[in-house]
Structure 1
Amino acid sequence: MAFPDTQVAAEVDLYLGDTLGWVNVLDAGDVRHSVADSGGGITITRGRPNEGREPDLTQCSLVLNNAGGRYSPRNPASPYYGLLGRNTPIRVRVGDLGAAGAVALSGPAKNPSAVTTPAHASLNTSGDLDIRMWVRLVRWATGDFFELVGRYWAVGTERAWYIDVDAAGRLGLTWSPDGSAAGRISRRALVPVPSVAGGALAVRATLTLATGVVRFYTAASLAGPWVQLGADSSPAGATSVAEAPTAGIELGSFGGLAAAPAAGELYGFELRIGGTLVASPDFTLMQPGQTSLTDAQGRPWSLNSSAVVIDRGARFYGEVSSWPSRWNLAGTDQWVPVDAAGITRRLSQSTAVTSPLRRTLSSIDPAGYLPLEEGTDATRPTPATARPTTATSSQVTYGEESGRLPGSRSVAKLTATSSITTTVTPRPGSSTYSLLVFIKLAQMPAGGDQTYLRVHWSGGTVARWDFQMSGGGYRWVGYDQGGDAVSDHNFNNADNPPDDWLMMYVEWSRSGDTITWQPWVANAGDPAFSTFSWTYTGTLGHPTRVEVVGNSDLQDALLSHLAVDNERIFLSADFAAISTAYAGEKAGERIVRVCGEAGIPITFWGAPDDTAACGPQPIVPLLDALRDAAAADGGILLDARGHRGLHYRTRTSLYNQTPIPLDYTHISAPFEPTDDDDATRNDITVSRPDGASSVAVQLDGPLSVLDPPAGVGRYTTSETLNVATDDQLPDLASWLLHLGTVDEARYPRIRLNLAAKTLAADQALTRQVVLSDTGDVASIDGLPAWLPPGPARVMVQGYTETIDGYDWSIVWNAAPSSPWDVAVVDGEQRVAADGSTLGADLTSSGTSLSLASTTENGPWTTDPTDFPLDIRVGGERVTLSAISGTSSPQTATISARGVNGIQRSWPAGTAVDVWQPAVSAL
């Protein structure tokens, strides 16, 4: 429904349980549409208010008519009685924004394929291939290969075809006539995929079997029209494509290569074989929360666990935490002012301090779990299981912090007579059980085998397992009800000694009447582990109780995190990571993992593995752990706009963006440049928790620490960032100094009235503006003469959006985007010419100039292949066609003056630099 007097097809939906689902309360006439009417209309605030690094809460304010107490949660007469409450889900949508739904392509590399469909006879290739995919990517040229789609399993002869993108952003089609890796054929577009503002693009690859000719195309969407990307790829001659009868199709990536997955959003896919459409999933039809769909050809498509459906038409997803009733004195008007917020509001109120180990282990809902992180006055351990279990102990000291396991708040200290017992929630019938415990002895065992851990079982051939240690190794013995050994095995402890933190993990699994049990042993932080696998014949049963048994070797030993479950707890590759609190983990992958442990949907703009390496995960509340990782990377963590969850924008996704192309006529007041020191930071110290620090200072130039007028004086700041190593600190300090010394005007507020004729006339541009989000870039051209020369390139830090009966406007909180334009191979940026000046006066009509350079930097280039070269003379952009001379001063030939609209005379000594000085990315 549109608001009265507007064409804004808005809706405001409340989620009122599974029966009613999303109810459009705007369509019911319950949303007050006028701002002047008791604060009506819809106001949404999102992102950062300025260049500050921490986004504010995403909030949405509106007013609901409450005649008859319709929106009073405790009013039995309300049709929504029992359905309204604290944190009722709410969303605001605006139709006609292009793709309504999308699948976020942002899963970690270890689980890459976002969407899959299983093998089917209709997918077997017996005709010409025509593969089409509609996506929005962070960037097409990433400097590395990434995967888009494939029917390509790297086993046997299951390799059919795939599409990837190379480091330069060029599409490639690879196919195998016989299904083998050796027989595959590849063809690649000779030109890269064009960069488009907003990033949404459909790509297509065709293969004609009779000739082997490959063609690539692009379009705005799957509807076309299609424009060929470069020339035909060289023919391979008559060819064929393997049928790969058991291989399905994987979108967003595929399991056949080691390349990275795509990063962005997936809207649709089409596959034609011999001209027949055999698959066509339309992900724009999906709603948040869906995990599968069936296409028009009957093919089922399933999302993996890390893929999230987002609502592209959404302006806000959040929760209503309270329903305050308001009325006038006469009682003739009743309303509820709604102040909804994204889930970070709720998460920020969750102050429980949880260790990384406990957070990870609790997320799997173990059948038995003792974190052993109690305080120093504790007399027994506290189980951390969803269902009640009991635990007791004797002669155990809790709250030990000296020598604690990284990732644990504290540990338990044992004696020779200690005992700890915990029950295990019965979960019979599983085919897999596992146990994990961390232990550290004060010294190596001196004698023979001594039992330190005992696991009791019910309903199986083995009734009790004893875990033992000796001076020479580890031993596991399984006994039946009569006390006879059913299985008895051991191995040497030389590679994994128990006088360092030891991870002991054992897994039992059943196949028929064969029971396989496998122990893994590793020291904390060591990726090398010892493992063996043994079997016995019988029944498995299930664990019921675990006991820690004191002995002389356990005197002063430390114990931490004892867990039992009816499934696999960890893969061996995770041992080193968990034992060190995930030290060295990429920031994006930490955010993915922690959100997964907490059950929070998370989407990305950027690749999770293309982020900074972090130090150990801190022992802090959940939201603080996420923000700690985001700060280490330098990205932006905020509420998701298209689903009820979180969204992370990586630092690298902010680099070198194609801007939204705006004109001065598109914007409304306020649009006022500000030259102030609000964001100036020219003396930066960056430290690492419990590590070193590094300092970066701007020593010269207009924003240096020099006293005015030579500089601006000293602006000192310090940051503590949880990065993995001290070696990262110098680059971090230099990068933050770069961000804090941007010498250009700021446009802190930019208003775009979406109903204005100049903007409304261009629907495609309007859509780009509406879909813009925190971190996106816009370029505003056609600036009037009284403003600094344009275009004004800005990065959206956040925005305030207003939708009411008379207005639909977005006010961006903006900052200069230039710091994020970083050097790339073969890019337009050039090495900065620090200290260069005009060697002589330059008149307003001069066609050559004198370049004086410093001895330190040396002369300017004279290589003809480096021209044309744009330089900055004072505030004028000048294009050079050549430079002659090998020593300072040199003579430069000018081919264009006033490229940026400024052309005037400049005196000798005026600063000269390349127009786009190269800045190294962090």
Structure 2
Amino acid sequence: MPLLVEMGWGGLIQAPNTITWTDITQSPDVVQGVTITRGASDEFSETQPGTATLVLDNADGRFTPGNTGSPYYPFVRRNAPIRISAYRIPVRTGAAPYPLAMLADDFDDERVNTTLWPNNYGGASEAGGRMRVPVTTAGSAAFQSAREWTLTGSRLTAKLVTLPQINGSSAAVASMWANSTTSGTRLGWRYNALTATLTAENQTAFFDGSAVSVPYSGIDHAWVRVRESAGTVYWETSGDGYGWTIRRSLATPAWATSQTLAVEFPTSRTGGTNDYAEWELVGAQVRPRFYGVVNEWPVEWEGLYSKVQISCTDLFKWLNRQPALKSVLAQEILAQDVAGVYDFLSAYYPLTEPADSLAAGDLSARGCGALVLTQAGSGGTLEFGGDGLAATGDTSATFTPSTATAGKYLAADLGTAFETDDANYLPMVSCWVKTTTASRAILGLFSANLDNQLIFGINSSGSLTVETTSDGTPPVVLPIAGTLTDGNWHHLYFDDAFKRIYVDGVQIGGTLSAASLSSLRILHVGGYRGTRLFNGQIAHVVISHATGPLGSTLAPLQYNAGTNAFAGETADQRIIRLARYAGLSSVTISGTTHDPVASQGPGGSSIVARMREIEATDSGRLWAQRDWYGITYQSRDVRYNPSPSSETFTIDYADLEPGISVADDDQKMVNQVDASRPGGATQRVSAPSSVLAFGPYDQDLDILKMSDNAVLDAAAWLVSRYANPQPELREVPIEAHTMASYLDILDAEIGNYFSVYNLPSQAPTPSMRVTVEGYTETIKHNSHSITFHTSASITDSVWVLDDATYSVLGSTTRLAY
């Protein structure tokens, strides 16, 4: 059965490096099979969330939510991580000696294959779809092959499923060896239960003085492999049997390429209680098919037979559940992170409350108190809902005092947790201000006993001042060059780690002679302790704590977010930025053509909706990865001019399943486009000959380009490709399991190519190259059927001077966009 199903019981999909996977492959109904759908139906459609459906045998109730008798209790719950893979067990062909990659067994028939393993000893057996080797005090035990294998240019792979336990022993070991003809000369992997280490060894006389050990991790070392290539042996581990990490390498020992080898999986124990080690999927070639979460666990019965039919969704479920985006500035503040520096958001007051509010709330989730409207003297106003930064769409708080000592300001007790953080970490303070009034205080942060004080002020010249004290004496006033009282918005950032101030994203002056602050707790905004009341607008007051400097990174980042919402960044940068807002760091960028895009716009949309805007703007492609918690963004140039060498596989028409057809209709026709961008012109691109021949096929295109010319180019690209679409294959059904190119077929991903050749004489051409847009597959016992949803690859071809294929007048003379 070419199927591997694993559950991440108790794990979180957003923390993939912490998931320990449990194999449940024995439970799915392999007659009904596992069905997986990914991608899109065609190139015009958006890729959809990937889905998987399968039926699990629930005879013992192990998949019943809330069942305390389940071995998986209490983790049979919605959003439990799941991953599904297919694998191929290579067939031994030809005559001995055989390459080690042909030593393959999935142990799924409950009896030992004595052709592969003729020399087993010590009670080694096959049980539950695994190789089971006793770890006993009675002596060694092992699965052992005949001496008929070669390592040159080949590999030995296995999954270590069950570890031997210490059980009071002074030694308990399970190993995988490629043995030479000399006893004790061997190379492979050894697991030591006493030290809980996995060791890559090249032994002579049963010893390796240069062995490389790693603390065993069931997450990272579930699979082990020894591989030889071009004179080097590599010891590798993997968490999924697909992606491998090299743990050791050295020049191939002479015996390893000159001798015929025997493979052995031995165990041994000294003292203690007996148990066993288990291995499985020896030699399996794994290909991930799905990575996501289980949506539900509906328990059903047919008489006394119980089953659970589960549906699963890939990473897009997680992304689609993210809350609506706040403004780009708010998102940058909430997602702040600086490489190599431990930092966290301690207090964040956007000051974007509705106009009738009497307090401002904290969004840091650190338990800080609200900024409460506070009166000094009499008179004056403080109103929320005023005009804010134009690029973000946020509002602000407007302070209008009667005098410098009569009016309203905001005050908050940030709490004991904040005070403790401030005693242990360095504070970073930032805000946005807009004013025309000098000699005022913007904000103040101080300890309960007033020993420590930090004040942002404006002096009589209209320049920023930073005032600090750490001993209760009057704060030292440090004037900063420049003018804040010009009626424009300005961003201020104080970095206590380096004692530096940044204004509008740029460091002003050098290191400040500021006091070292500690145990800050009380925050005043719009004045300081009832005096120097601010006259103007304030927004986005932020306090962070860190182990190192943040200003040089975060000050320009926040300034750009607040002033232009990152207008001009390229499409791939925008995708990575949006993913970061969801806490997603695994983003694969494919291709090199990524155009600048307009500003991110105001909040209110979802992360996925914003990503889709970029996908449409740049004619790219976005999808969730099938082997990891990550997404892929593919630029349009990846599809330019595919060559035969770039094809994932080719397939004879005779090897296809019934149902293939060539489509030639107007489903994709577009010969007239009205295109626009935010704040730009609306422009029309048309293909007159197509309009004359077929009538108008209109489409509106509203995209986030930076210029009207860029919009025009995008519209022209669309019309040039679809004014007269050529006949194409849109569905290609394959029974892949029986194909010699099985692994190549499984490697085909969205955006990849393959060709169907030897088409019937009635076809437009003898062969047709297609681009994969998506697929639906069903994996059953000894069956793996895949129907690829495809488009014509020629649609994305671009002009190449004097090229026989890509400079055909009127056909492939399309200019690249």
TM-score under structure 1 length normalisation: 0.61
Aligned match of 1:318: 292
Q: Does 1:744 align with 2:726?
A: yes
Quote how far apart the aligned CAs of 1:222 are. 11
Aligned match of 2:20: 21
Letter in 1 for 2:383: T
Aligned match of 2:481: 491
Q: Does the aligned pair in 2 maintain the 1:33–1:805 contact within 8 Å?
A: yes
User: What is the DSSP-based 3-state SS (H/G/I as helix, E as strand, rest coil) of the residue aligned with 1:70?
Assistant: coil
Q: How does 1:122-201 map to 2 (within 5 A)?
A: none
Q: Does 1:440 align with 2:437?
A: no
Q: Does the aligned pair in 2 maintain the 1:614–1:632 contact within 8 Å?
A: no
Aligned match of 1:531: 508
Q: Distance in 2 between matches of 1:469 and 1:828?
A: 73
Cα 1:799/1:565, change in 2 over 3 Å: same
Aligned match of 2:197: none
User: What is the DSSP-based 3-state SS (H/G/I as helix, E as strand, rest coil) of the residue aligned with 2:48?
Assistant: coil
Quote how far apart the aligned CAs of 1:596 are. 2.0
Letter in 2 for 1:774: I
1:775 to 751, 758, 771: 751
1:521 to 498, 503, 506: 503
Aligned match of 1:75: 67
Letter in 1 for 2:73: Y
Q: How does 1:165-244 map to 2 (within 5 A)?
A: 223=153
Letter in 1 for 2:238: L
User: What is the DSSP-based 3-state SS (H/G/I as helix, E as strand, rest coil) of the residue aligned with 2:312?
Assistant: strand
Letter in 2 for 1:355: S
Q: Deviations over 1:181-207 (max 9, x none)?
A: xxxxxxxxxxxxxxxxxxxxxxxxxxx
2:521 to 541, 544, 567: 544
Q: Does the aligned pair in 2 maintain the 1:588–1:607 contact within 8 Å?
A: no
User: What is the DSSP-based 3-state SS (H/G/I as helix, E as strand, rest coil) of the residue aligned with 1:818?
Assistant: helix
Aligned match of 2:320: 348
Aligned match of 2:778: 802
Q: How does 1:281-360 map to 2 (within 5 A)?
A: 282=236, 285-286=238-239, 294-296=247-249, 313-328=287-302, 330=303, 332-360=304-332
Aligned match of 2:189: none
Q: Does 1:641 align with 2:626?
A: yes
Q: Distance in 2 between matches of 1:470 and 1:608?
A: 52
Q: Does the aligned pair in 2 maintain the 1:324–1:337 contact within 8 Å?
A: yes
Q: Deviations over 1:35-72 (max 9, x none)?
A: 2xxxxx10000000123231112000100111132211
Cα 1:623/1:453, change in 2 over 3 Å: same
Cα 1:366/1:403, change in 2 over 3 Å: closer
Q: Does 1:47 align with 2:31?
A: no
User: What is the DSSP-based 3-state SS (H/G/I as helix, E as strand, rest coil) of the residue aligned with 2:613?
Assistant: helix
User: What is the DSSP-based 3-state SS (H/G/I as helix, E as strand, rest coil) of the residue aligned with 2:53?
Assistant: strand
User: What is the DSSP-based 3-state SS (H/G/I as helix, E as strand, rest coil) of the residue aligned with 2:688?
Assistant: coil
Q: Does the aligned pair in 1 maintain the 2:382–2:408 contact within 8 Å?
A: yes
User: What is the DSSP-based 3-state SS (H/G/I as helix, E as strand, rest coil) of the residue aligned with 2:44?
Assistant: coil
Aligned match of 1:387: 366
Q: Deviations over 1:141-193 (max 9, x none)?
A: xxxxxxxxxxxxxxxxxxxxxxxxxxxxxxxxxxxxxxxxxxxxxxxxxxxxx
User: What is the DSSP-based 3-state SS (H/G/I as helix, E as strand, rest coil) of the residue aligned with 1:755?
Assistant: helix
Q: Distance in 2 between matches of 1:605 and 1:297?
A: 33
Q: Does the aligned pair in 2 maintain the 1:778–1:794 contact within 8 Å?
A: yes
Q: Does the aligned pair in 2 maintain the 1:750–1:814 contact within 8 Å?
A: yes
Aligned match of 1:118: none
Q: Percent identity of the aligned residues?
A: 22
1:561 to 518, 540, 562: 540
Q: Deviations over 1:464-495 (max 9, x none)?
A: 334325444222121344332345232122xx
Q: Distance in 1 between matches of 2:287 and 2:560?
A: 39
Cα 1:614/1:291, change in 2 over 3 Å: farther
Q: Does the aligned pair in 1 maintain the 2:462–2:485 contact within 8 Å?
A: no
Quote how far apart the aligned CAs of 1:367 are. 0.4
Aligned match of 2:282: none
Aligned match of 2:209: none
Aligned match of 2:276: none
Q: Does the aligned pair in 1 maintain the 2:319–2:582 contact within 8 Å?
A: no
Q: Distance in 2 between matches of 1:544 and 1:607?
A: 49
1:792 to 739, 743, 768: 768
* Matched positions, count: 614
Aligned match of 2:52: 60
Q: Deviations over 1:523-568 (max 9, x none)?
A: xxxx7x351223448644254233212488844x332211110132
Q: Distance in 1 between matches of 2:349 and 2:74?
A: 38
Q: Deviations over 1:227-284 (max 9, x none)?
A: xxxxxxxxxxxxxxxxxxxxxxxxxxxxxxxxxxxxxxxx999999xx997x9685x7
Letter in 2 for 1:544: R
Q: Distance in 2 between matches of 1:547 and 1:584?
A: 36
Q: Distance in 1 between matches of 2:803 and 2:354?
A: 58
Quote how far apart the aligned CAs of 1:629 are. 2.2
Quote how far apart the aligned CAs of 1:607 are. 4.8
Aligned match of 2:410: 420
User: What is the DSSP-based 3-state SS (H/G/I as helix, E as strand, rest coil) of the residue aligned with 1:345?
Assistant: helix
Letter in 2 for 1:713: G
Q: Distance in 1 between matches of 2:384 and 2:241?
A: 45
Quote how far apart the aligned CAs of 1:767 are. 2.1
Aligned match of 1:578: 561
Cα 1:553/1:420, change in 2 over 3 Å: closer
Aligned match of 2:31: 34
Q: Does 1:593 align with 2:585?
A: no
Letter in 2 for 1:354: K
Letter in 2 for 1:313: R
User: What is the DSSP-based 3-state SS (H/G/I as helix, E as strand, rest coil) of the residue aligned with 2:720?
Assistant: helix
Aligned match of 2:444: 454
Q: Distance in 1 between matches of 2:225 and 2:801?
A: 32
- Structure 1 unmatched runs, 5+: 3-7, 36-40, 99-220, 226-266, 299-310, 510-515, 834-912
Q: Does the aligned pair in 2 maintain the 1:419–1:548 contact within 8 Å?
A: yes
Q: Does the aligned pair in 2 maintain the 1:92–1:316 contact within 8 Å?
A: yes
Cα 1:42/1:460, change in 2 over 3 Å: farther
Q: Does the aligned pair in 1 maintain the 2:234–2:247 contact within 8 Å?
A: no
Quote how far apart the aligned CAs of 1:705 are. 1.3
Q: Does 1:503 align with 2:482?
A: no
Q: Deviations over 1:15-51 (max 9, x none)?
A: 113699211111xx2110112xxxxx10000000123
Cα 1:742/1:294, change in 2 over 3 Å: farther
Cα 1:354/1:336, change in 2 over 3 Å: same
Q: Distance in 1 between matches of 2:807 and 2:585?
A: 42
User: What is the DSSP-based 3-state SS (H/G/I as helix, E as strand, rest coil) of the residue aligned with 1:58?
Assistant: strand
1:92 to 84, 88, 91: 84
Q: Does the aligned pair in 2 maintain the 1:600–1:645 contact within 8 Å?
A: yes
User: What is the DSSP-based 3-state SS (H/G/I as helix, E as strand, rest coil) of the residue aligned with 1:789?
Assistant: coil
- Structure 2 unmatched runs, 5+: 12-17, 91-150, 156-223, 252-284, 337-343, 374-380, 402-406
Q: Distance in 2 between matches of 1:802 and 1:576?
A: 51
Quote how far apart the aligned CAs of 1:585 are. 1.5
Q: Does the aligned pair in 2 maintain the 1:42–1:62 contact within 8 Å?
A: yes
User: What is the DSSP-based 3-state SS (H/G/I as helix, E as strand, rest coil) of the residue aligned with 2:629?
Assistant: coil
Q: Distance in 2 between matches of 1:407 and 1:96?
A: 52
Quote how far apart the aligned CAs of 1:721 are. 1.3
Cα 1:95/1:276, change in 2 over 3 Å: closer
Letter in 2 for 1:593: R
Q: Distance in 1 between matches of 2:722 and 2:413?
A: 57
Q: Distance in 1 between matches of 2:601 and 2:353?
A: 20
Letter in 1 for 2:622: L
Q: Distance in 2 between matches of 1:612 and 1:268?
A: 44
Q: Distance in 2 between matches of 1:540 and 1:59?
A: 53
Q: Does the aligned pair in 2 maintain the 1:376–1:398 contact within 8 Å?
A: yes
Cα 1:792/1:832, change in 2 over 3 Å: closer
Quote how far apart the aligned CAs of 1:815 are. 1.1
